[in-house]
């Protein structure tokens, strides 16, 4: 039977594969390119997580099931993409990205917590692991990563890591995982919905 960590990993992989594939189609990559982008987006978090806590080789590189899963999801997304209209697609990209962020925040927090790390370490690893996939996806296609342009992105994952640690300390890791995912998704939806604006310094400086 799957444990919570494995389930988070699977949901995260599906979400980020959809997100990576959607981005690839938008950038007019061919089928191979979109599959590679889907895999890269969905694998980055797990690989970084394991390197940071010292699991060598990273778990995700040992399971052919996850590779098959990512490839299948990517191909399916690729061929369905055409039939969807733009507005719905933008929604798919946002939602899959938010769920990927939330599940990998929980995954990273769960892994770090299980290794006995402190609150700060758990929160930092949670944030890095959750952001990793999206950052790699955007860098690979030459976009400035969401993490820099979107309101409360890495911060949502950092918050998720803190919530995880606190809940896990007073309750158990199963509850902590669920509440973390709920928290991160809620923060992201709230941020997107109200399109939270933060100050931008425009200036005499700008045009260089």
Which burial class, exposed, middle or buried, applies to 126 when counting CB atoms under 10 A from its CB (0-12, 13-18, 19+)? Answer: buried
Longest dimension (CA), the chain: 60
| 172 CB burial (10 A radius; 0-12, 13-18, 19+) | exposed
The reply to whether 197 sits near a second copy by the rule CB under 8 A is: yes
Residue 112 in contact with a second copy, rule: CB under 8 A: yes
Q: How far is CA 110 from CA 99, 122, 137, 138, 196, in A?
A: 16, 8, 24, 26, 29
Q: Which of 107, 113, 117, 164 binds a second copy (CB under 8 A)?
A: 117
Residue 63 touches a second copy, criterion: CB under 8 A: yes
Residues 33-62 contacting a second copy, CB under 8 A: 33, 36-37, 51-54, 56-58, 61-62
Cβ neighbours of 29 (radius 10 Å)? 18
Minimum CB–partner distance for residue 92 and a second copy (Å): 11
Stretch that binds a second copy, among 1-9, 78-86, 100-108, 172-180 (CB under 8 A): 78-86
Rounded to a whole number of angstroms, the minimum distance from the CB of residue 5 to a second copy is 17
* Of the residues 12, 15, 78, 130, which one makes contact with a second copy according to CB under 8 A: 78
Closer Cβ to a second copy, 143 or 172, answer by number: 143
**145 phi and psi, to 5 degrees?**
-55, 140
Question: Kindly report the CA angle at 138 between 82 and 178, in degrees rounded to 5?
Answer: 85
The answer for residues whose C-beta is within 8 angstroms of residue 185's C-beta and 6 or more apart is 98, 99, 102
Using rule CB under 8 A, residue 124 touches a second copy = yes
Residues that bind a second copy (CB under 8 A): 24-33, 36-37, 51-54, 56-58, 61-64, 67, 78-79, 81-82, 84-86, 89-90, 112, 115, 117-121, 124-125, 128, 135, 139-145, 147-149, 151-155, 197-206, 208
């Amino acid at each position: 039977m799957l444990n919570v960590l494995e389930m988070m990993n699977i949901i995260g992989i599906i979400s980020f594969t959809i997100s990576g594939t959607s981005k690839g189609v938008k950038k007019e990559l061919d089928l191979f390119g979109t599959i590679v982008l889907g895999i890269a987006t969905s694998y980055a978090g797990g690989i970084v997580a394991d390197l940071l806590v010292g699991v060598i080789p990273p778990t995700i590189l040992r399971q052919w099931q996850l590779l098959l899963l990512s490839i299948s999801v990517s191909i399916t997304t690729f061929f369905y993409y055409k039939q969807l209209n733009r507005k719905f697609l933008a929604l798919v990209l946002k939602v899959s990205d938010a769920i990927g962020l939330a599940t990998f925040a929980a995954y990273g927090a769960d892994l770090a917590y299980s290794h006995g790390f402190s609150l700060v370490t758990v929160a930092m690893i949670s944030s890095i692991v959750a952001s990793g996939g999206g950052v790699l996806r955007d860098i690979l296609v030459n976009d400035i990563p969401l993490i820099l342009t979107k309101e409360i992105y890495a911060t949502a994952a950092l918050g998720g890591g803190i919530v995880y640690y606190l809940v896990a300390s007073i309750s158990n890791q199963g509850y902590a995982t669920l509440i973390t995912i709920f928290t991160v998704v809620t923060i992201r939806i709230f941020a997107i919905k109200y399109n939270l604006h933060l100050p931008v310094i425009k200036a005499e400086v700008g045009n260089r």
